[in-house]
Amino acid sequence: MSDPVELERVSVALDGQPILHGVDLTVPEGSWVTVIGPNGAGKSTLLRAVGGLVAFGGAIRLFGTPLRRLPRRDRARLVATVAQDPVVPPGMAVLDYVLLGRTPYIAPLGRESATDLAAVDAVLERLDLAGLAGRRLESLSGGERQRAFLARALAQGASLLLLDEPTTALDIGHQQDVLDLVDQLRRDGGLTVLSTMHDLSVAGGYADRLVLLVDGRLVAAGPPREVLTEQLLSEHYRARVTVVDTGHGPLVVPVRPARSAPTPS
């Protein structure tokens, strides 16, 4: 079986500005690969290219088929995306929004089936959203809304999940719920995850491979322990960090500059 995602020398320009330069990347079936990198490195652009949302040079194949040859409906059954800042349809209830995830299975002008509704109910339950099903999306808190975005993507039942910073608005408990759920779906089989993440320790805790993107180029890739190093992070983020090995993956701790001793008065 072909890998869910293969990129060969992928480049993207936005408004004439080159953003990605010759990116090669493979995401094997059942793996979780997370793209890290400084602000503006091109992480969201990379995910958008894989999701078929921006024009690119080079080659992208999903499950062996060139992305350009996948009809939109087939693509929607294979790939579900949670954008970094999704559009919130005004006035829409959570239930109807999550039901949008079932669109690729509903005939044009057709109605949702009992299977579609059951899939939506199950996802709402698992994401702790059942009590909010009737609420308008824009009335939710940032974290609740982020869970609704993820619920819509999971309801889609796709084999590849693209998550662009899926947990930035979540408190630590809901962050764990969401990432553990994604991880469980992956381990139960059938799901491959390509994500971007802001928090490096969290990124390393869930991904089995990290890729470091800087100025639109991949500069490092490998298991978290090989990418989350003081040397790579200080060089590419211009940050002072200490990396502590916790046994659960590397923990990246920012370090304040040494302060001079207070002068005695």
Residue ranges binding Mg ion (CB under 5 A): 43-44, 84
Q: For ligand ADP, which residue of 33, 43, 97, 249 counts as binding (CB under 6 A)?
A: 43
User: Please, what is the minimum distance in Å from the beta carbon of residue 211 to ligand ADP?
Assistant: 12
How far apart, in Å, are the Cα atoms of 117 and each of 27, 63, 157, 263? 31, 28, 13, 68
Interface residue with ligand ADP among 9, 14, 115, 142 (CB under 6 A) is 14
Token pair for 31: 């793996």
Smaller CB distance to Mg ion: residue 123 or 163?
A: 163
Q: Find the part of the chain contacting ligand ADP (CB under 6 A) among 10-18, 133-141, 199-207, 238-246.
A: 10-18
Least distance from ligand ADP to the Cβ atom of residue 54, Å: 9
152 near ligand ADP, rule: CB under 6 A: no
37 binds, among ligand ADP, Mg ion, none (CB under 5 to 8 A by kind): ligand ADP
In angstroms, the CA 101 to CA 96 distance is 9
Binding-site member from 5, 19, 98, 155 for ligand ADP (CB under 6 A): 19
Query: Taking CB under 6 A as the rule, does residue 101 contact ligand ADP?
Result: no
Smallest gap, in angstroms, from Cβ of residue 262 to ligand ADP? 39
Cβ distance 48 to 20 under 8 Å? no
In the bound state with Mg ion, the residue whose beta carbon lies nearer, of 5 and 41, is 41
Q: Residue 10 CB, nearest distance to ligand ADP (Å)?
A: 13
Should residue 42 be labelled a site residue for ligand ADP when binding is judged by CB under 6 A?
yes
What span, in angstroms and rounded, lies between the C-alpha atoms of 142 and 17? 32
Per partner kind, with CB cut-offs from 5 to 8 A, the member of ligand ADP, Mg ion, none near residue 19 is: ligand ADP
Asked if residue 214 binds ligand ADP (CB under 6 A), the reply is no
The edge-to-edge listing of strands for the beta sheet with 209-214 is 79-82, 160-164, 192-196, 32-36, 209-214, 217-222
Q: Which of 18, 40, 222, 254 binds ligand ADP (CB under 6 A)?
A: 40
Between the alpha carbon of residue 92 and those of residues 76, 97, 109, 135, the distances in Å are 21, 6, 19, 8
**Is 175 among the residues that bind ligand ADP (CB under 6 A)?**
no
CB of 152 to Mg ion, least distance (A): 19
Smallest distance, Å, CB 208 to ligand ADP? 21
Any contact of residue 7 with ligand ADP (CB under 6 A)?
no
Does residue 260 touch ligand ADP according to CB under 6 A? no
Q: Could you give the angle at which helices 142-155 and 114-126 cross, rounded to 10 degrees?
A: 140
Residues that bind ligand ADP (CB under 6 A): 14-15, 17, 19, 37, 39-45
